């Protein structure tokens, strides 16, 4: 992913690459193509499920890997140790990302989708998947700290491997039971989520880590950042679009028949982005972070890793599940919402220190 010139005139939309600027358009086009593909080849389901990995067809598993690998190859793992010198940022990020964020999404999911267990679960799964990809773009556009963003992305990547399955079990089974809510309509095991995370995040994480380590060692950091990453970065989008095409080839008609689902999912997501972003700015200023780091804190907390949410949903509940469909709808809502928040952030930039 190429870096964005922070000294350029403030115009977030124009500073986005053409690919990222029209991301919702590409996703909608992939949905439409998948729907047409499903109609033209009704037997595609048998083809896709003939060879499986973790209950996921091999072509879809390949798409998920291609989607995750470029992002994780771009994480600066070697800089993780520097976070120890900025304890306020680290502690704030952990609280917002792993306590407040999941709890807020859990609340919104039950408030808005309490009677729709599959979509409700999909939202909660998204809330547990902390952003490790697009956040770098939003952070650059809003003139946040690139170094802090790289470090927090690395922390979130590792933390998701260690904590995602446990948090998933807590928010999907344990907490609803404590609160007297219906948790029996969601079928899964902790091991189901663990396997999905290890396969669809762990494998590309290890591959990304060793790619970066060997690339920097053999060719140097400048070559790796300026030559290699720009070449592989577009494949994250290709993998996402490929996965979406296959998903809609199998179940796109369900969305066409029930367009209200998009609205039902969009509303809690919009509320989530706004609250998390606003609370994070307030939190950052309260603990004494300057604008750049407070901005990084806000966007890393507000964004979500929809790639991982889609991978976990497909691996645990299947490609035709409502959980997976919610994951696909997510980026359609996130991209315009966070672009709007970039504008708000730049407006706050002049007023932050007052």
pLDDT at residue 176 greater than cutoff 60? yes
pLDDT at residue 3, rounded to an integer: 44
pLDDT in tens, 206-250: 999 899 999 999 999 899 989 998 899 888 888 888 888 887 787
Nearest partner of 144 among 302, 325, 35, judged by Cα:
302
Half-sphere exposure of 119 (CA within 13 A, CB side): 23
Work out the angle at residue 60's Cα, subtended by the Cα atoms of residues 101 and 267, and round it to the nearest 5 degrees.
Answer: 35
User: Which tokens belong to 287?
Assistant: 């603990």
Nearest partner of 164 among 185, 204, 191, 141, judged by Cα:
191
pLDDT in tens, 53-111: 656 678 878 888 888 888 888 877 776 665 555 788 989 999 999 999 999 999 999 99
User: Which tokens belong to 327?
Assistant: 């994951």
pLDDT at residue 319, rounded to an integer: 77
Nearest partner of 153 among 139, 142, 163, 141, judged by Cα:
139
pTM: 0.81
Check if the beta carbon of residue 285 is closer than 8 Å to that of residue 299.
no
Nearest partner of 67 among 245, 192, 188, judged by Cα:
245
Check if the beta carbon of residue 197 is closer than 8 Å to that of residue 241.
no
Check if the beta carbon of residue 240 is closer than 8 Å to that of residue 67.
yes
Work out the angle at residue 56's Cα, subtended by the Cα atoms of residues 127 and 116, and round it to the nearest 5 degrees.
Answer: 45
Give, for 254, the enclosing helix (H) or strand (E): helix 234-257
Mean pLDDT for all residues in the chain: 83
More confident residue, 275 or 333: 275
Check if the beta carbon of residue 196 is closer than 8 Å to that of residue 208.
no
User: Which tokens belong to 63?
Assistant: 């798409």
pLDDT at residue 183, rounded to an integer: 63
Q: How far apart are CA 88 and CA 61, in angstroms?
A: 38
Residue 304 β-bridge partners: 130
Mapped onto helix, strand or coil, the DSSP state of residue 303 is coil
Burial of 5 (0-12, 13-18, 19+ CB in 10 A): exposed
Share of the chain above pLDDT 70, in %: 86
Domains recognised in the chain with CATH numbers: 58-349 (1.20.1530.20)
Cα distances (angstroms) measured from residue 160 to each of 37, 70, 130, 165, 207: 34, 17, 8, 8, 16
């Amino acid at each position: 992913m190429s870096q964005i010139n922070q000294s350029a005139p403030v115009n977030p939309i124009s500073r986005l690459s053409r690919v990222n600027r029209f991301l919702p358009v590409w996703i909608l086009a992939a949905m439409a193509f998948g729907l047409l593909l499903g109609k033209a080849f009704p037997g595609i389901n048998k083809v896709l499920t003939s060879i499986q990995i973790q209950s996921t067809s091999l072509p879809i598993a390949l798409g998920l890997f291609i989607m995750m690998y470029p992002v994780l190859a771009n994480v600066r793992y070697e800089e993780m140790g520097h976070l120890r010198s900025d304890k306020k940022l680290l502690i704030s990020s952990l609280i917002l990302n792993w306590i407040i964020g999941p709890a807020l999404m859990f609340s919104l999911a039950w408030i808005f989708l309490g009677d729709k267990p599959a979509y409700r679960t999909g939202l909660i799964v998204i809330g547990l998947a902390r952003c490790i990809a697009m956040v770098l773009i939003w952070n650059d556009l809003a003139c946040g700290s690139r170094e802090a963003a790289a470090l927090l992305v690395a922390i979130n990547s590792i933390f998701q491997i260690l904590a995602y399955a446990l948090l998933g079990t807590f928010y999907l089974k344990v907490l609803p039971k404590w609160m007297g809510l219906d948790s029996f309509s969601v079928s899964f095991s902790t091991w189901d989520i663990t396997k999905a995370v290890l396969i669809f995040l762990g494998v590309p994480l290890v591959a990304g880590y060793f790619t970066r380590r060997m690339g920097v060692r053999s060719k140097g950091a400048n070559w790796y950042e300026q030559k290699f990453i720009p070449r592989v970065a577009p494949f994250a989008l290709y993998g996402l679009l490929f996965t979406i095409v296959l998903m809609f080839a199998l179940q796109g008609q369900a969305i066409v028949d029930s367009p209200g689902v998009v609205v039902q999912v969009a509303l809690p997501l919009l509320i989530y982005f706004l609250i998390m972003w606003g609370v994070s700015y307030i939190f950052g200023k309260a603990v004494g972070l300057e604008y750049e780091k407070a901005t990084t804190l806000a966007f890393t907390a507000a964004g979500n890793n929809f790639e991982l949410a889609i991978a976990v949903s497909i691996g645990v509940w299947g490609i035709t599940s409502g959980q997976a469909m919610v994951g696909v709808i997510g980026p359609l809502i996130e991209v315009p919402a966070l672009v709007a928040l970039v504008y708000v952030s730049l407006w706050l930039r002049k007023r932050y220190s007052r």
